[in-house]
Amino acid sequence: MDMEKVNSMDFGEFVDVFGNVVERCPLIAAAVWSQRPFSNSEDLEKHFFAFIDALPQSGQEGILRCHPDLAGRELQQGTLTAESRREQRGAGLMSLDAAERLRLAELNAQYRARFGFPFVLAARLSDRAAVPGELARRLQRPPAEELRTALGEVKKIGRLRLADLLGAAGLAGP
Ligand SMILES: NC(=O)NC1=NC(=O)NC1=O
C-alpha cells in the first residue's frame, strides 16, 4: 500500500480525497490529517474510527444525521453524494416499486421518530429485500444499543469507501 502518497498530501488534497469517507463529515478527514504519517491503510482507518468513538453522544448522533435516508427524498431528487448513490444503487434501492418505497419511508420515519437520527446501514452489504426487515428489527432495539449498531454501520461504509479510494486512486501497492 503506497501510503507514501497519502502521507505526502497537503491538507486540501487529503480532505478532497478522504472528505466523504464518512458521509458528509469532512471534519473527520480534516482532523485525521493531523495524525499523519499513517503506517498503512489499517492505521488510517483506525484514526477515522477513533475520532468517531471519541465523540460525545451528540456528535455521534450528528454523524448519523448527516446520512441520507435509504431510498429517501434525496435519492428521488438526485441530490445524493456520488458514493451514496453508488451504494444505494448497488443495493437495488433505485428500482423499488411505489409500495416498497412507501414501506421504507414509513419505517424510516418511525425509526427517526424513536431514535432522533436516521436508520443507517451499509447498503453495499445488504440488498433491497433485506433492508425493510433489518430496519423493522432494529426499530425495536434499546436506544443505547441502536446507537452503537448504527455507528458500526457507519464504520462498515467508511471501511468500504477507504478501500475504494486506496485501491482506485493508484495508491494500492503490493
Ligand atoms: N441511511 C443510510 O444507511 N445511508 C447510506 N448507507 C450507505 O451504504 N450509503 C448511504 O448513504
Question: What pLDDT is recorded for position 25?
Answer: 98
Does 118 sit in the ligand 1 pocket, CB within 6 Å?
yes
Q: Whose CA is nearest to atom 9 of ligand 1?
A: 84
Q: Whose CA is nearest to atom 2 of ligand 1?
A: 120
Ligand 1 pocket, residue 161 CB under 6 Å: no
Ligand 1 pocket mutation, candidates 21, 69, 70, 138, criterion most atoms within 8 A of CB: 70
68 CB near ligand 1 (under 6 Å) = yes
Q: Among the atoms of ligand 1, which is closest to the Cα of residue 121?
A: 3
The catalytic residue positions are 67
Which CATH code for domain 68-160?
Answer: 1.10.3330.10
Identity of residue 171? L
Decide: 162 and 45 in contact? Cβ < 8 Å: yes
Task: Give residue-wise pLDDT tens across range 75-119.
Answer: 999 999 999 999 999 999 999 999 999 999 999 999 999 999 999
Q: What is the pLDDT of residues 3-26, one digit of tens each?
A: 999 999 999 999 999 999 999 999
Here the cell at position 159 is: 471501511
Nearest to 163 by CA among 21, 31, 29: 21
Q: What are phi and psi of 112, to 5 degrees?
A: -65, -35
One-letter identity of residue 75: L
pLDDT at site 167: 87
Ligand 1 within 6 A of CB of 123: yes
CA distance 73 to 38: 38
Query: From the CB of 120, is ligand 1 less than 6 Å away?
Result: yes
For the chain, give every residue range classified as CATH 1.10.3330.10. 68-160
